[in-house]
Amino acid sequence: MTDASPVALTRTASGAELIGGAGGAAPVAVTPRIALEGVSVRYHGALALDSINLAVAPGEVVVLLGPSGSGKSTILRAIAGFLTPSQGRISLAGRDVTDLPPHARGVGMVVQNYALFPHLRVAENVGFGLRARRRPVADITERVAACLDMVGMGRFADRLPRELSGGQQQRVAIARALAIDPPVLLLDEPLSALDAPLRAGLLEEIRALHARLPDLVIVYVTHDQNEAIALGDRILLMRDGRIAAEGTPRALHDTPPHRYAAEFFGQANLLPVQLDACDAELAIVTLEGQRLTVRAPAWHASDDRALGARPLLCLRPHAITLNATGLNRIEARILATHWMGAVNRIEAAIGPHRLRIDVPGSTTPPAPGSVVTIGFEPDQACLVADL
Amino acid sequence: MNRLLITPIVRGVPRSSILNRVLRLALPVCVLSVLLLYPLAHMAAAAFKGAAGEFSLGPATRMLGSPLFLRALLHTFEIAATATILCLLLGLALAVLFNLAPFRGVQVLGRVVDTYLAFPSFLIALSLTFLYGNAGLVTALFARLFGADPHAASFLYGFWGVVLAEVTFYTPFVLRPLLAGFQSLDPAQIEMASSLGEKPWGVLRRIVLPALLPALLAGGSLCLLLTINEFGIMLVMGAKNVITLPVLIYSEAVQQFDYSGASVIALGNAMLSFGLFALYRTSLTGLSAGLAR
């Protein structure tokens, strides 16, 4: 075994940012709680993970977001030890665990279907890991009670798993994972088997739990962007076994680097434009003959060859205003309107390009067939690569 | 039944429907009576029939108290219990190997196990005599290599020979329910147990075995039932010193012409079989419940 070298992390108020990322604060040297260095995993010859590099700081909540088959669960299973990388090293708190079996890694894990042991009662499930560690009975009893209380399941200690609802079973699974006091908690789509109201409640409970255990690292796998936004200090967007994009939820939402990120992370309007000019802050683009001013793409500053290319204008539905009078104005034809309670969703077209506009549900939307002037603030739009 | 037939309406069910039900029930009852119940009743009657055809407990007390019967009963249980335990151990080891340490070709092996179930048991005994019998290949090889007397009676014609043949033939009968039992075990449970710090042996003991308990009971009781009633292997092996209940029944009925004595043993054997079959069915219900969970 070899020790992983400390990695420089930039800390922000919300927790750890990207390694060496631009957070404003001075970087500090911290040994990451989880470090993946060039990790690749093959399934029957096919590449499931391709050279993944990842460092997670103590207390950080990292969300792996992506569609099915993108490799997010594979990362989790490699960290837990259920998969052996074909290449690369995995370290936990500076200890190389690449070749260690799962039982020697000491990570807590919760899976989608809970995987509670059906023949054991709730308290026995929660105390399972402590018994495996040969802890004294008194310690086990005390720790089990504390963990069950932490997830609000103290009253159900004598129940069998089949006597619990889905949400209760998931709470028990979380208590079971936390009972061994793991430095790392791996959550593999833990809420996807639950209905929407229960999901929202449990998501809030996981956030509260992390607030009580601020040093605990959580790696959370989901395909739901709302869960990712609600929970993540940092989001890794996965695609075809690689990290397609990463950043804070805000950064990924406001300035997605490419089409894939913009489409997966929020339903953005993506309109092909001609890039006319660009400096460090602003870019001038042309859409259907109309010149528009938008935020400069981050990638442009280091790549002049992008000038004159056909990037995509990324415009969120809620960032568009009707009957605009500001800097960016363009005419759009209204195709249809749908009242959806909190918002009116308007289907519109600029030339051949269709787009969605969300305005408050309390307003009266324009009639279908009418032509209106829509607009947006320059800092509410960005350019993304067509990848 | 007459009362049912003359009642015009029972809780809204038309009379024709009741008649249909009775007729549908009558046919299988008649067939079963002729094929199964009548021979059993005949056997029971023969077991309690005296020399002049009167009811008598004489044949039963004579046979049940004879050293021959008691020795056969002991051998039957010894062989069946030993074979069942070994089948369970071997079947469990194979099932664990197939599921937790899968290798290339494991599916082909599963098919072979399925095919094996179609063989008659005496074929296995016959094939073992070609290997371990007095004129068998392995026996001859040992004689050549180690100078053993090739004419000495092989172990195959004793207790362990019978057990070997029964374990060889009946292990797939245990393996099948165990493989089905593994299907009801969520692999994530094994992974969670490992991630919680339990070592492989502990995972097997604390997670896998409790999940496989209904399958072990089902496979074990089926194996015990079949080995207690095994006749083909005993006949082909010709193990003279290992007389079991089925062999004794055959011997009493065909060689000694003592039908009363044979019926007494057969009746006891049948009751034992029904009891084991009830255990097997109960275990199977548990296994099905596990699969459905």
What tens digit of pLDDT does each residue of A333-376 get? 999 999 998 899 999 999 999 999 999 988 888 999 999 999 99
Q: Which residue has the higher pLDDT, B238 or A220?
A: A220
Given pLDDT bands bounded at 50, 70 and 90, which one contains residue B11? low
**Closest chain B residue to the Cα of A182, Cα to Cα:** B196
**Closest chain B residue to the Cα of A175, Cα to Cα:** B196
* pLDDT above 50: residue A17: no
B28 and B77 belong to one structural domain: no
Say what the pLDDT of residue A22 is: 36
Q: Where are the domains of chain A?
A: 58-84+100-259, 267-384
Does residue A103 sit at the B interface (CB-CB below 8 Å)?
yes
Which DSSP letter does residue A94 get? T
B162 and B199 belong to one structural domain: yes
B76 and B164 belong to one structural domain: yes
Could you tell me where the DSSP H helices lie in A213-316?
225-231, 249-254, 259-264
Q: Whole-prediction pTM value?
A: 0.77
| Domain range enclosing B33 | 1-47
Which DSSP letter does residue A58 get? T
Instruction: Assess if residue B179 is contained within a domain.
Output: yes
What's the Cα-to-Cα distance from A333 to each of A232, A316, A368, B6, B10, rounded to whole Å?
A: 38, 18, 8, 81, 72
Instruction: Assess if residue B52 is contained within a domain.
Output: no
The least confident of A231-235, A304-308, B140-144 is A304-308
Say what the pLDDT of residue B85 is: 96
The Cα B133–Cα B156 span in angstroms is 6
Instruction: Assess if residue B70 is contained within a domain.
Output: yes
DSSP string spanning chain B? Answer: -HHHHH-S-BTTB-HHHHHHHHHHHHHHHHHHIIIIIHHHHHHHHHHTB-TTS-B-SHHHHHHHTSHHHHHHHHHHHHHHHHHHHHHHHHHHHHHHHHHHS--TTHHHHHHHHHHHTTS-HHHHHHHHHHHHSTT-HHHHHHHHHH---TTSPPGGGSHHHHHHHHHHHHHHHHHHHHHHHHHTS-HHHHHHHHHTT--HHHHIIIIIHHHHHHHHHHHHHHHHHHHHT--HHHHHHT-TT---HHHHHHIIIIIS--HHHHHHHHHHHHHHHHHHHHHHHHHHHHHHHHHH-
B contacts of A102 (beta carbons < 8 Å) = 191, 194-195
B65 and B177 belong to one structural domain: yes
B19 and B69 belong to one structural domain: no
B contacts of A180 (beta carbons < 8 Å) = 196-197
Chain B contacts in chain A segment 108-137 (CB below 8 A): 108-109, 111, 113, 115-119, 128-129, 132-133
* Tally of domains within chain B: 2
Torsion of CA A42, A47, A51, A53, to 10 degrees: -80
Does residue A107 sit at the B interface (CB-CB below 8 Å)?
yes
The residues with which A46 forms a beta bridge, in sequence order, are A43
B37 and B75 belong to one structural domain: no
Q: Mean per-residue pLDDT for A30-48?
A: 89
Instruction: Assess if residue B202 is contained within a domain.
Output: yes
B187 and B253 belong to one structural domain: yes
A contacts of B214 (beta carbons < 8 Å) = none
Given pLDDT bands bounded at 50, 70 and 90, which one contains residue B149? low
Class of domain A267-384: mainly beta
Q: Which residue has the higher pLDDT, A58 or B293?
A: A58
DSSP string spanning A108-158? Answer: EEE-TT----TTS-HHHHHTHHHHHTT--HHHHHHHHHHHHHHTT-GGGTT
B66 and B206 belong to one structural domain: yes
B113 and B251 belong to one structural domain: yes
B28 and B128 belong to one structural domain: no
Instruction: Assess if residue B244 is contained within a domain.
Output: yes
Return the CATH fold of A58-84+100-259. Rossmann fold (3.40.50)
B64: CATH: 1.10.3720.10
Given pLDDT bands bounded at 50, 70 and 90, which one contains residue B39? confident
How much is the mean pLDDT over chain B?
A: 82
Say what the pLDDT of residue A281 is: 83
Pairwise CB contact (< 8 Å): B197 & A133: yes
What's the Cα-to-Cα distance from B203 to each of A188, A256, B198, B207, rounded to whole Å?
A: 21, 45, 6, 5
Instruction: Assess if residue B53 is contained within a domain.
Output: no
Q: Which residue has the higher pLDDT, B156 or B257?
A: B257
DSSP reduced 3-state for A42: strand
B21 and B66 belong to one structural domain: no
Per-residue pLDDT reduced to its tens digit, A99-112:
999 999 989 999 99
A contacts of B195 (beta carbons < 8 Å) = 80-82, 102-103, 105, 107-109, 177
List the one residue out of A272, A366, A373 whose CA is nearest residue A315. Answer: A272
User: Taking the CA atoms of chain A, what radius of gyration do you get in angstroms?
Assistant: 24
Pairwise CB contact (< 8 Å): A117 & B202: no
Q: Which of B189, B192, B203, B212 to mutate to test the interface with A (most CBs of A within 10 A)?
A: B192
Say what the pLDDT of residue A309 is: 62
B9 and B89 belong to one structural domain: no
Instruction: Assess if residue B252 is contained within a domain.
Output: yes
